Amino acid sequence: MTNGPIFGAMLQEFDGAARILNLEPGIWKILTHPKRQITVSCPVQMDNGEIEVFTGYRVQYNITLGPAKGGIRYHPGVTLDEVTALAAWMTWKCAVAHIPFGGGKGGIICDPTRMSRRELEALTRRYVAEIIDAIGPEKDVPAPDVNTNDQVMAWIMDTYSMHVGHTSTAVVTGKPLELGGSLGRREATGRGVMISARESAKHLGFDISNATVAVQGFGNVGSISAQLIGELGARIVAITDWKGGVYNEKGLDLAMLNDHVRQQKTVAGFSGGTSVTNDELFALDVDILVPAALENQITMANAPSIKAKVVVEGANGPTSPDAHRHLHDRGVFVVPDILANSGGVTTSYFEWVQDRQGYFWTEKEVNDKLEAKMCEAFNAVLQTALKYRVDLRTAAYIVAISRVATVTRMRGMYA
Ligand code: NAD
């Protein structure tokens, strides 16, 4: 059982909500233990002829509500602690989103920026072969996460299909459209972040079309969130990524910024603004702050400087528990990751449904269904927060834990 700092942060959040719910000790124990943690070694022949061995993980945290669901991350900093915490968060996220999935997550310790396409494909296929018995449309359905994309999902789907002897599109989501992907999936997490920001502004009584916004991270989640919140009329004044950041109080020209990022692979150096660091971005006097990069970015080192009214957590686990308490005490409205970024997994669920029925929806149908699901989840969490007089994160956990606990009790104990 992992007990590292990231899983510890998840447990702190869980415990707060479980106490309010008066959760019985037995269910408490079940819900705070990962069901399955898999560690594999993946040998790969590199382009220079040498053999490297990469460590990969797949964690199925809880599968009470359905197959495990969660992304695969390629990053030098991946640990079992991180993957386990992310798998737990997926469990609560799927439950908050009210979709029939449990929580899983995977990761490989590697630096994809230093690997060729052939090396990445070989690593992906070997990793899938190593975890093949644990995944499948009814068992565990991976998806993209940091540094993995639709091409990686296509390799996963192909490797799995080769092993089972038939084409199985529903084994992963976030696939290319031609391979059973869903329209709207690429934009779904950012769309959910936009809906969360919009509903927060509505609840707090300010006009989002006049709001100012800062976004940390300009990958899938950060760039689409910025784009869609910008389309509501809000001004995106600052964006940072791994290499630096840009600020323009009049609002950044996102079309030009996207061109710059396509060429330079970073927002740093963009001529349409001045440079800004992460710490400066967090301290900006904006209405909405969207952390959409990695976990543990908002800590007590920078939380006291945050001036935003609303923090919408596009990333997973971007705020440390003490920083979250501090922000809540100061009246900052924090929309927690397991609600704010659940648009991605909700549309992954739509992709899985479409693959299994072999009939595909239009982009409008997907977006309309996502809009309905996100609003349902946002309202369930908001009403729970008002009922128990707690912050939105505790409320989201209360909603999630109640749903998983109810089904755990119904299913009973197999022994
Ligand atoms: P991505 O790889 O596409 O983008 C990550 C971005 O973060 C990049 O712009 C990178 O430059 C930036 N970044 C990395 N380190 C940084 C640092 N130290 N400071 C500032 N920026 C930094 O990844 P993504 O898919 O956009 O995921 C971002 C976060 O959202 C992760 O926490 C992920 O788990 C979470 N998330 C992703 C999805 C999804 O559908 N992609 C769904 C739910 C949650």
Tens-digit pLDDT profile for residues 239-257: 999 999 999 999 999 999 9
The preferred substitution site among 224, 242, 346 for testing ligand 1, maximizing ligand atoms within 8 Å of CB, is 242
Pairing relationship of beta strands 51-62 and 102-109 according to DSSP bridges: antiparallel
* Cα–Cα distance for residue pair 372/263, rounded to 1 Å: 37
Residue whose CA lies nearest to ligand 1 atom number 8: 219
The preferred substitution site among 94, 294, 299, 348 for testing ligand 1, maximizing ligand atoms within 8 Å of CB, is 294
Q: Where in the sequence of the chain do the CATH 3.40.50.10860 domains occur?
A: 34-168
Question: From ligand 1's centre to the CA of 222, what distance in Å?
Answer: 7
Q: What is the pLDDT of residue 146?
A: 87
Q: Under a CB-based contact definition with an 8 Å cutoff, are residues 70 and 143 in contact?
A: yes
Q: What percent of the chain has pLDDT over 90?
A: 94
User: Mean pLDDT over residues 377-398, rounded?
Assistant: 97
Instruction: Please identify which of the residues 93, 105, 175, 373 carries the catalytic annotation.
Output: 105
Q: Which atom of ligand 1 is nearest to the CA of 93?
A: 43
Q: What pLDDT, in 10s, does the model give residues 260-272?
A: 999 999 999 999 9
Distances in Å between the alpha carbon of 332 and those of 54, 287, 301, 324? 41, 10, 17, 9
Residue whose CA lies nearest to ligand 1 atom number 2: 146
**Residues with a CB atom less than 6 Å from ligand 1:** 144-147, 189, 216-222, 240-242, 278, 292-294, 314-316, 341, 344
Beta bridge partners of 199: none
Q: What is the pLDDT of residue 1?
A: 55
Question: From ligand 1's centre to the CA of 165, what distance in Å?
Answer: 34
* Cα–Cα distance for residue pair 36/55, rounded to 1 Å: 17
Q: Which atom of ligand 1 is nearest to the CA of 245?
A: 20
HSE (side-chain half, CA atoms, 13 Å) at 118 = 5
Residue whose CA lies nearest to ligand 1 atom number 20: 241
Question: From ligand 1's centre to the CA of 101, what distance in Å?
Answer: 23
Residue whose CA lies nearest to ligand 1 atom number 34: 316
Question: From ligand 1's centre to the CA of 380, what distance in Å?
Answer: 27
* Cα–Cα distance for residue pair 393/324, rounded to 1 Å: 9
Nearest to 317 by CA among 81, 143, 31, 67: 81
Backbone angles phi, psi at 199, to 5 degrees: -70, -35
Beta bridge partners of 136: 140
Q: What pLDDT, in 10s, does the model give residues 131-144?
A: 999 999 999 999 99
Q: Where in the sequence of the chain do the CATH 3.40.50.720 domains occur?
A: 188-340
Question: From ligand 1's centre to the CA of 79, what distance in Å?
Answer: 17
Question: From ligand 1's centre to the CA of 145, what distance in Å?
Answer: 8
Residue whose CA lies nearest to ligand 1 atom number 35: 315
The preferred substitution site among 221, 281, 290, 313 for testing ligand 1, maximizing ligand atoms within 8 Å of CB, is 221
Beta bridge partners of 235: 212
Burial of 20: CB neighbours in 10 Å, binned 0-12, 13-18, 19+:
middle
User: Mean pLDDT over residues 183-197, rounded?
Assistant: 96
What's the mean per-residue pLDDT of the chain? 96
The preferred substitution site among 93, 99, 146 for testing ligand 1, maximizing ligand atoms within 8 Å of CB, is 146
Residue whose CA lies nearest to ligand 1 atom number 42: 344
Question: From ligand 1's centre to the CA of 159, what distance in Å?
Answer: 26
Q: What are the tokens at 400? A: 């999630």
Beta bridge partners of 212: 235
Query: Which ranges of 99-184 does DSSP label H, i.e. alpha helix?
Result: 117-130, 150-164
Residue whose CA lies nearest to ligand 1 atom number 15: 242
- Residue 29 designated active-site: no
Domain covering 188-340 in this structure, CATH number: 3.40.50.720
Q: What is the pLDDT of residue 3?
A: 72
Q: What is the pLDDT of residue 294?
A: 87
Question: From ligand 1's centre to the CA of 220, what distance in Å?
Answer: 7
Pairing relationship of beta strands 235-241 and 140-144 according to DSSP bridges: unpaired
The pLDDT of residue 392 is above 60: yes
Q: What pLDDT, in 10s, does the model give residues 19-29?
A: 999 999 999 99
Domain covering 34-168 in this structure, CATH number: 3.40.50.10860
Confidence band of 2 (pLDDT split at 50, 70, 90): low
| DSSP H/E element including 387 | helix 363-388
Residue whose CA lies nearest to ligand 1 atom number 36: 315
Q: What pLDDT, in 10s, does the model give residues 120-175?
A: 999 999 999 999 999 999 999 999 988 999 999 999 999 999 999 999 999 999 99
